[in-house]
Amino acid sequence: MGKKKKAGTSLKTPAPVTQQEVAPSLELSHKPTFSSYAAVSVLLIIIIFGLFLRYRAANHEYISQWDEAYHALVAKNLMAHPLLPTLYDNPVRSYDYKDYGSNHIWLHKPPLTLWLMSGAMAIGGKKEVVFRLPSVVLGTLAIFLTFLIGKELFGTMAGYIAALLHALNPLVIRLVSGTVPTDHTEVVVALFVEATFLVLIIAARRRSLQFSVLAGVLLGCGLLSKSLPAATALAAAPFFWRGKDHLADFIKPLALVLLTAVAIALPWQLYTSHNWPAEFAWEGQQVFRHLSQPLEGHSGDWDWYIKLIPTHYGGQPEKIWAQVAAYAVVIFSILYSLYRCIRERQTNLLAVLLWALVPYVVFSVAATKLMGYLALAIPAVLLLIGYTAATVISNLKNSFSEKGAFAPATVVNAVLAVIALVYLLPLAGDRLTADYSIAPWNAIYDYPIFREEMMKIRDAEGQKIIFGVGDYKMIQAMYYTGSPAYADVPSPEEIEGFIKKGYRPHIILDALRRNLEEVKTIAQNPDLVKKITFISVPIPQRQIEKSPFQN
């Protein structure tokens, strides 16, 4: 019989880095791979690069239709009344409180993200890039948190790799840009999930009730950002306290986390349910309808999110070879981490695997599917990639340092390294060349001219009301003008009624002549025409070359 193999090694393969070697017992002390100055410099470069990519994506003069316009308008209105979330701040016409796109009190999203956007505008003004700055800052902070978690659980090299991939991640940057649905809400909740995860590690390692309270505060903030998905970090919490001497060592801190989170999040629920019971009840039901009904047609098969892996994690997703590289890196990293977790019972890996896979399972089962929903799982998947890549690098280093024949395992690891390079280069190239200068979700109006005309309305004296706004741009129109805006052109009698109330009606005309018949009816009354401002906006002069989901 041959010698018994050491745990953690594979046939003819140098032993990869194990949990015990790089992060024993979740301790903070790791022997640095580089000098301290070099290590800090590398991390700073990664973070600054991520900040550059996020600010570049956020710095454009349009408000994306889905769903950024709604978030931006409610946030702007919160500047005047922080505890009164409104979409139509002055609903001069009847509305359906069940329609989040046309109602008055807006409880469609929890308030924290909106408060952050509102605070940014209160400090920096109402230019579009300003309300995206919280996403830019928190999205950049998330890169640092990814490094810290990777370093503490899997070693410094894994932390660097995961942080670099986080800096480059396409989905996160698209969400920061506001050009894809759920946008800033997902960025904020993902940050709080990640921060909760990190502080839970520290609380367990130090047996610190103070850090348990901090974890509860962060979890509560996550619940105020996007309700129940923020609890994702709790799926991994039991494994941080595994092996403690008494059950109370686990129950007490976790109870403290939950109680603190409830203390942070519950007051808003009580406040809104008391003041607007109908809206509160409806939106509460909608949260659970996402599980059973494909709301607004946002449906997909059970493997929908798996098919999105190249779009969420890779570069040039329209090219087959890039898709293959993205699938290879992500799927192999998850499977390899799962293998090591089962074989060596690594609780660190199990915790990150749960963080990564629970959202994939839950949102794959849910009937309503949107690309941004999985943003909170992105850091966990990148940590698994970082762990796997660090192991490959360690194996290559060990292979080349061994004396004797060139080991077959070296070839395997070299192939994996080449696949990683093929994956990384288009990813970086796409992020550096993505074009955010043209408004997506825009078919009727040339957006720069539309924006300019809305600002002219804003600067005009008196009360205004806007009709005939197409392309679902009523929300942007209200953001720029501060006046109520509607898609239809009402009857002459209704327009006369608004004039008597002191409003100056504005009607938007477009080259597609959508509302031509209604305008002809109004034109039959010359005296009424004199009291209306007609604004003509041409069709788009430029169209996006890529879908915002692939830009």
Residue 26 pLDDT exceeds 70? no
pLDDT at site 319:
87
| Cα distance between residue 448 and residue 471, in whole Å | 15
If pLDDT is split at 50, 70 and 90, which confidence band does 529 have?
very high
Regarding whether 488 and 393 lie in a shared domain, the answer is: no
**Residue labelled with tokens 């409806």:** 282
pLDDT at site 3:
41
Give me the mean pLDDT over the 96-112 stretch: 97
pLDDT at site 460:
95
Residues 411, 417, 418, 423, Cα dihedral to 10°: 150
Residue 17 pLDDT exceeds 50? no
pLDDT digits 0-9 by tens, 402-425: 555 456 666 776 777 787 788 888
Q: Is residue 1 part of a domain?
A: no
pLDDT at site 393:
82
Give the end of a domain, one of 382, 402, 433. Answer: 433
Q: How many domains does the chain have?
A: 2
Give me the mean pLDDT over the 155-162 stretch: 95
More confident residue, 420 or 509: 509
Give me the mean pLDDT over the 278-285 stretch: 97
Residue 397 pLDDT exceeds 60? yes
Tell me what percent of the residues of the chain surpass a pLDDT of 90.
Answer: 75
| Cα distance between residue 132 and residue 436, in whole Å | 14
pLDDT at site 247:
66
Check: CB of residue 508 under 8 Å from CB of residue 535.
Answer: yes
pLDDT at site 410:
67
pLDDT digits 0-9 by tens, 327-373: 999 999 999 999 999 998 888 999 999 999 999 999 999 999 999 99
Tell me what percent of the residues of the chain surpass a pLDDT of 70.
Answer: 90
Give the end of a domain, one of 433, 456, 479. Answer: 433
DSSP letter for 508, please.
E
Lowest mean pLDDT among 100-114, 389-403, 454-468, 499-513: 389-403
Regarding whether 203 and 226 lie in a shared domain, the answer is: yes
Q: Is residue 547 part of a domain?
A: no
Residue 223 domain boundaries: 24-433
Element (H, E) at 437: none
Give the end of a domain, one of 398, 433, 468. Answer: 433
Check: CB of residue 236 under 8 Å from CB of residue 354.
Answer: yes
Regarding whether 336 and 480 lie in a shared domain, the answer is: no
Check: CB of residue 13 under 8 Å from CB of residue 409.
Answer: yes
Regarding whether 371 and 285 lie in a shared domain, the answer is: yes
Regarding whether 424 and 467 lie in a shared domain, the answer is: no
CA–CA–CA angle 402, 407, 413 (5° rounding): 100
Q: What is the mean pLDDT of the chain?
A: 90
Check: CB of residue 322 under 8 Å from CB of residue 426.
Answer: yes
Query: Which residue from 387, 319, 5 is spatially nearest to 165, judged by alpha carbons?
Result: 387
Check: CB of residue 197 under 8 Å from CB of residue 236.
Answer: yes
CA distance between the termini of the chain: 58
CA–CA–CA angle 274, 278, 281 (5° rounding): 85
pLDDT at site 409:
64
DSSP letter for 524, please.
T
Residue 331 has, within 13 A of its CA and on its CB side, a CA count of 12
Decide: helix, strand or coil at residue 472: coil
More confident residue, 397 or 215: 215
Regarding whether 330 and 245 lie in a shared domain, the answer is: yes
Query: Burial level of 308, CB count in 10 A (0-12/13-18/19+)?
Result: middle
Q: Is residue 267 part of a domain?
A: yes
CA–CA–CA angle 530, 497, 102 (5° rounding): 105
| Cα distance between residue 505 and residue 521, in whole Å | 15
Element (H, E) at 105: none
Q: Is residue 500 part of a domain?
A: yes
The residues that bridge with 105 in the sheet, in sequence order, are 86
Regarding whether 498 and 429 lie in a shared domain, the answer is: no
For the range 39-45, what are the long-range contacts, defined as Cβ-Cβ under 8 Å and sequence gap of 24 or more? Answer: 39/156, 42/160, 43/144, 43/147, 43/160, 43/163
Q: Is residue 117 part of a domain?
A: yes
Regarding whether 428 and 451 lie in a shared domain, the answer is: no
Regarding whether 204 and 168 lie in a shared domain, the answer is: yes
Q: Is residue 50 part of a domain?
A: yes
Phi, psi angles (nearest 5°) of residue 111: -85, -15
Residue 7 pLDDT exceeds 50? no
Q: Is residue 548 part of a domain?
A: no
DSSP letter for 13, please.
B
More confident residue, 333 or 401: 333
Regarding whether 375 and 458 lie in a shared domain, the answer is: no
